[in-house]
Each structure stands twice: as structure tokens, then as C-alpha cells.
Structure 1
């Protein structure tokens, strides 16, 4: 609205000025022909309104030239009797020609200005709408201009920005590197390759960016400034860091998977050795004992010594019964009971009860869980960990009392195993000892179902084992 009012006032001003010039032309014509009677008009004054009209109104301004040419011709006819001089016609033609040339040139200039204005507006829109920062500085590093994207990155207004230097926006650790790039690349080639650096925001924080610089020269080829395109790569760097972290996690997982697979193979080999030893020791010993007993019975029957034969048979039955019990125990150790059928509480109580009958070890067992909510794979892990912990107590701890507590805590199951044995230093366990293998096996079993395993022990202080397992989702058990 303000622009339209301004244009209206300017147009009125032009018309007023033109009216004054035209009135002056009419007065000069009358004065020269009538008052002075010279028969000549001072026409140089006419060129001023002709040129102004052509500049202001382009071809529409030709009307002024035509009016003044007609004024010159008709005044020559009406105010003197002689024939119109040829130079008056020539002047009239010159008025129109000059007006046409000026109008044409003015139109071309106006079109060029409009094209330049549109081009500037297009590039200004591109400049301002770019998501990358764009900045301009002189050769001394004084900041002269920047688009809104770069101002937003830094947190400055354009007025604040122009009071700074390029060096003030750059951490000191980058100054030498950028000086080398300016000297060896930008000044030598006229541009730099894209490189990484950091910028200081208004609040003092720093953000990473990539930048590329172009040198600006004047007509004589002298450098007068530099354009730079800056891209904030903070988010990209965060993504790269996350990818790097995930790659590291993947590498660790792959190594852990390899070790876990290796551990599985080792466990299988150990179980095969145990089974081979049991078959050799138990079954082999049993076979030798029964063979010897049968031979003795045979001899006693031949000697008609039936009482001795019956006693040998009773002893053989006792040996056979004990061997069967040991084989059952071994089978239970190698393969836990079907927990889906008997349930975890029954299986653990039966197992611990059998241990206490055979050993001088008092076990306090308590359980506060809803076994229906415990996935089968989690139940197997709990059973195995209790089994392995008890084996370690029997073999290494020399404990007299042991406490096993199993209870629910939210969507997790907590298992606590505590003994009053001799304990050990958890920091100096050698990797090849059987106790270390057992602890590692328990930890691997807990972690196989996304659980946590923690052990606390010290010489003379017994051992505490704390296991936490999730019970919401089913997990695969790799044992």
C-alpha cells in the first residue's frame, strides 16, 4: 500500500515537471516569434522534456516529442508569412528520432534492470532458503554477510555477526590447519576441497561442520574476499558414532558368540569324558564285582555251601543297588528332570534333598515364586546354576551350611546362593581352574537368557552368588 502511494506521488511529480517544461517551450516559441519577431526559436531547451519523457514513460513519452515538433512547425506557419524553413522540419524530425532512440534505450535498460532484479531475487531466495550455511568475508577475515541458515547454526543476529571475525568463530586448534588450507589450496587454486572443522556458537558450545571455500577476485584478478558453504554435521557425526558403537558391539558379540560356541563344545567334551569315566569306573567295577561274585556263588553251590552262596548273593545285590543309584544320580546330573511335568520347586527340593542325604551339608531352601509364570528355559537355567553352585561347594568350599533362596521381584526372578565355606579371592582365579570354569559356565547360562550374574567371595568369608533373570519373554537357551 505504501509503495502504491509513493508511485502515485512520483507520477504526479513527473507530470508537474513536464507541464512546466512544456509551458516553457510554448512561452519561448511565442516570445521568439511574436515579441522578438526573429522567426527563430531556441529549440535546445526542447530536448530536455523530450529526453525526460522518453526516460520516464518510454514509448508513451514520444507524445511529448510529437507535440513539440508540431508546435515548432505550426508556429512557423502561423507566425510568419515566409515558407517554413527546411531546418525546422529537420529539427522536428530530430525531436522524434531522439525521443524514439532514448525511449528504446530506456526500455532496454529497464528490461535489463528487471532481469537483473529477478536474477538477484532468485539467487537471494536460493541464498536465504539454503539449508547449508553460506558466509562471505574479506581477506582479513572480517565477516561481511551470511545467510539465515548459518546465523541459526551460530545463534547470532546479522548485526552481531558482522562485528566478528572469522577467527573468533573458530577454535584455536583449527587456526593453523585453516591457514595452511588458505595458503596451499584456496589462494593457489581459487577454491578448497571440502574439509572438517568446528565452529563456536554464541553460547560458547562447539559444533562440527564441513566447509568448502571459494576465492573472490576483482577485475584486476586481485583477491577481495571469500565465499564459504558450511554444513552442520553434528547429527551425522552422532549417527556415525552410533554406527561405530554398534559395530564394536557386533564385534564383541561375535567374539562372545565364538567363545560361547567354543565353551559349548568344551562342555560337551567334558560331559563325554565324565560319562566315559563313569561308565569305566561304575559299570566296569560293577561288572568285575558281579563276575567275581558269580564265580564265588558258583563255587559255593558246587561245594554245597548254600548259606555262603546266599550271603554272596545279598552282597552282590547291595553292590548292584548302589551302582544303580550312582547311575541314576549321574543321569540326573547330566540331564535335569522334565521341569514342565514335575515343576521347578519339586525338582530343586528333590535334588537338594538327595545331596543332603549323601553329604554332611545342611541346605536351607526357600522358594517364593509362581512357577506357572516361569518360562521353561529360565527354569532350566535356574536348575543348572543351582546344580553347578552346589558342585563347587562340594568340591572346593568345605562348607557345612548352604542357603538357596528363590523369589520373584516384579518381572524378574532373583536367585541367591550362600555358603559358609572357605571362600576365595575372586580377583586372582586362574582361567584354567575347575572353579573358574564353573563360575564362567554359570555366568554364561544367566546371560544366555538376558540375565545377570554376580559373585562375591573372600578367603574365610564364604561365597555369595546373586542371579537375576527376566521372566516376561521366552528366550532361547544355548546349552
Structure 2
């Protein structure tokens, strides 16, 4: 009975602790057991001892047992492997030889306090990471638990530990990956927030799940109200069905991204119901078993206006080019006609007069009659010279070169007044401008007066030329029927004369505007920058 009781008091706790992963140096007590037990009991103890020793030897965890002085009394094969210490050299050494210097004092105090508590076992390293030290001084992270038992008046402390270097590396790698993910998400969120394009993400049901600040600006919807709404709320009604079908087909294709609107123009809808043209691209991603569609779009209203203006400008330039060619041909016909009909007839008459004069001289007519014929010939010559000057003035007035821009414009005003019965006045001081500017201003006034004659049904025209704030400003105002911008289908843009005026102003770096009201006349305004003025 005494033998069994000894087994219970001594060996059973060791086996129990070993089952929990704690091995003890059973051999230290083997002789004592032989003195206190019978042969059958000894065999049972030997069997248990062999089983316990096998567990300790084959354990995948390092097992170290120390006595009350914290000197090693057990060092299993896995401990030899981890610490690179053979057991015969490790046994008897202080436990501190296996702990980095900076942790030794704290660890010794931890074991001492643990011995006082009377707790049988405890996991170590809950408050901070644990490190062990190999024979060569290198450190490695560990995970450990400690247990204690009393054998007589002595205490034994057993530590079970494992090298968690790979796990720490994996955790650090995971932490780095998570950190990178967080940083990537933060960057992505920053990009989405600061993007100059509207970004909208919808789910499978085409309900908004992301609405960035630019989308709020373009659509005039706050994000908190936009999220959860169907995408159709942001698309004009006539396009909704087609757009939903487009997104559905895009989801089936599996293509990651695609530009939208290649076949036709796209339009979006603001909160107030106004529409605006957009350029967009769409992409899809799978997230937690569902698909997300992201649309990136920009308002291309200004670009559409610019493109429309460019198309209109090309059309107008084509019209202007055609008009210029036609006008050039017409001018050539007019000059040819005047040369033929006017100069040709006058020169023919002059030739006939000279022939008649020669015949009279041969016949010995009196001097008085010859003088009359010579006077008539001189009249024809004067008229011919005047005709030549008029034709030349139409091509380029000599006054423009001889006297300057204002006198040339005044001569032009008098000529139109005499020809068409208009009251034309000119107001302005002479400006010292480059020849190119003077010619352009003269032709602009000429074309403006021609338009008044053709379209205005006016009786008075006032021409004003001023310099103000670095600008040379020309105004041509009539009291005619004016122009209705709304009802007029052709308008000034369809007038080749006004197109020509605008192009002349543009070539000088200036601008061309009109101010007109039906029934209240028409005002043409041309401004040339001051730096263009000499």
C-alpha cells in the first residue's frame, strides 16, 4: 500500500505534467524509488519512466527543467537543436545562459514570483514577446509555458518552448501586407477624393455604392443622398434602358474595362434635370461574390462647345473662301467690264477724234475749228484719267498712303454718301497705325458701309474711331432695321461680309462684336489691341 501511495504522490504528478507537455528528470529519483517499492511496483514505475522519457525525447518542443537555483537538470533533444547546446554541456548551467542579457533579470524575477504563487502552470510572454539565445549568441523568438512541482522540499520548474521565427516572419509579412493594403487603400481613397473626374461605382443592381466629390460637383448631388440610388437617376430618361443593357452586356463579356460612347454621344443628368455631355469609361471587378462596376466620367461641355465652334468656324471659313473667290472673280469681271466699256469706249472715241483731227489738218481747216476739236479730245482724256483713278481707288485708295487712315475713311464716307444718298459722318482723330492695320480698318469700314446699303435700309451712318485702354476701337452705327438674333435664320454668321470683317479683326489679334435690336439699328464694333498700334 505504501508503494502505491508513493507512486501517486511522486510519479503520477510527473506523468500528468508530461501529458501536458512537461518532462521531468525521473532518473534523478530512480534509486529512491527502488528502496521504497516492491519489484512489481518498480516495473510499473520503470514502464512509466520509459514512456515519459520517450515523450520527452521525441517532443517537437524544447523542454528544459531547472531547479530552485535555476540551473538546468533536463535538456531534451529539441532543446539541443534549438539552442545548439549538447545536453551534457547544458545540464548544470544557469538558465540565464540561454536568455539574452537584457531579459535575464526580468526572467529570473518572473520565475521567482511564479514559484511563490503556487500555480502549477502558466503561459509565458502574454505581456511582451519572448526571445531565447543560441550558443553562438544569436537570438530567436519563442513561445513558452512554465510549470512547477515540488519534490520534497525542492522545487522544479519546467519550461516548454518552441521557435516561432517562421511564424513571426509570417506575421510580420502579414502585417507589412496589411500595412501596404491600408496605405494603398489610403492612396486610392485620396486619388478618388482628389480626382478631376467623377467616379461612380455601382453594384449588380446598378445602385450607387461610391460617389466621389467631383461626382457631387458635376451632378449637384451630395454623396450621402446619391449612395443607394439607382444609376438611372443620373442618366436622361431616353438613354436609361440602353445604358442598363450596355452595363449588363459588359458584365457578361468579362472584359475588365472599356471606353463608353464610341458609337454615340453620352449625356448625364444633374439633380435639377439639366443635361450635359460626358466622356466615360467603365470597368468591372469582383468583390465578395458580387460584381462592382466603376464609371469614370468628365464633363465635356466646353470641349463640345469648342468642337462645335471649330466645325462652325471651318464651315464659315469655307464659305468665306468660296465668297472671296467669287468676289475676286466678280471684281475681275467688273474691272474688265469697266476697262472695256468705259476706258475702251473713251479710248476708241479718242482715236476717232484724233483721226478726224488729222483729216481736218490735211484739208487745211481753220485754226478755230481745230482748237475746238483739240478741246473735245482733252475732255475725253480728262474723263479717261478720272475713270482710271476711280478704278485704281476702288482697288486701293491713294489717300490711304498719302494722307492716312482717317482721311481715307472720310473720302470713303463721302463717296458712299454721294452714291447712295446716305448721311455718313466720321468722328475720330488720326491714329499712327501700321499700314496693315490702316488697310484692314479701311476695308472693314468699306464692307460695313456695303452691308448698310444692302441690308440696313438706313438713312444715317456714324463712323467713330477712338483709342481707349490700349485698344483701337472702331464703331459703325446705322439707324436701319437692325437684326433679330432669335428670328433671323441666317444672322451675321451667315453674312460673308461680316465673316470677312471678323477674319480681318482676328488677323490683327482683335475682336469683332455686334450690338443690334430689331428696329433700332445695327452697331458693328471692332477692337484691335494697343500693342498692334505703332
- Report the TM-score range of the alignment, normalised by the length of the smaller protein: 0.5 to 0.7
User: How many Å separate the matches in 2 of 1:39 and 1:265?
Assistant: 123
Alignment of 1:78-227 (within 5 A): 78-81=32-35, 85-98=46-59, 100=61, 115-130=173-188, 131=191, 167-168=228-229, 170-172=231-233, 211-215=282-286, 225-226=289-290
Change (3 A) 1:467 1:336: farther
- TM-score, normalised to structure 1, is 0.62
Q: Secondary structure at the match of 2:397?
A: coil
Alignment of 1:284-433 (within 5 A): 284-301=344-361, 302-337=363-398, 339=400, 342-352=403-413, 363-368=424-429, 371-372=431-432, 374-390=433-449, 402-418=461-477, 423=480
Q: Is the 8 A contact 1:199 1:208 kept in 2?
A: no
Q: Is the 8 A contact 1:136 1:228 kept in 2?
A: yes
Q: Is the 8 A contact 1:407 1:415 kept in 2?
A: yes
Q: Unmatched 5+ residue regions in structure 1?
A: 1-30, 51-64, 156-162, 217-223
Deviations 1:333-385 (A, max 9, x none): 1113374663212333445456778886654322135x12x343332122123
User: How many Å separate the matches in 2 of 1:185 and 1:354?
Assistant: 71
Q: Secondary structure at the match of 2:314?
A: helix
Residue 306 (structure 1) shift: 1.7
**Map of 1:258 onto structure 2:** 318
1:69 counterpart = 2:24:
yes
Q: Is the 8 A contact 2:203 2:290 kept in 1?
A: yes
Residue 314 (structure 1) shift: 1.1
- TM-score, normalised to structure 2, is 0.56
Q: Is the 8 A contact 1:368 1:407 kept in 2?
A: yes
User: How many Å separate the matches in 2 of 1:95 and 1:440?
Assistant: 104
> How large is the RMSD of aligned CA atoms in angstroms?
5.3
* Richer in helix (by share): 1
Residue 473 (structure 1) shift: 4.9
Q: Secondary structure at the match of 1:85?
A: helix
Change (3 A) 1:125 1:389: closer
Deviations 1:30-49 (A, max 9, x none): x9988678774344420365
Q: Secondary structure at the match of 1:470?
A: strand
**Map of 1:270 onto structure 2:** 330
**Map of 2:292 onto structure 1:** 228
**Map of 2:526 onto structure 1:** 468
Q: Is the 8 A contact 2:465 2:473 kept in 1?
A: yes
Q: Is the 8 A contact 1:451 1:469 kept in 2?
A: yes
Aligned length, in residue pairs: 396
User: How many Å separate the matches in 1 of 2:478 and 2:442?
Assistant: 17
Change (3 A) 1:367 1:177: closer
User: How many Å separate the matches in 2 of 1:136 and 1:47?
Assistant: 59
Change (3 A) 1:305 1:389: farther
Residue 280 (structure 1) shift: 0.9
**Map of 2:512 onto structure 1:** 452
Q: Is the 8 A contact 1:451 1:470 kept in 2?
A: yes
Q: Secondary structure at the match of 2:61?
A: helix
Residue 282 (structure 1) shift: 1.9
Q: Is the 8 A contact 1:136 1:225 kept in 2?
A: no
Residue 103 (structure 1) shift: 5.4
Residue 317 (structure 1) shift: 1.0
* Structure 1, 87-96 or 279-288: larger mean CA deviation: 87-96
**Map of 2:339 onto structure 1:** 279
User: How many Å separate the matches in 1 of 2:309 and 2:455?
Assistant: 36
Residue 117 (structure 1) shift: 4.6
Change (3 A) 1:171 1:263: same
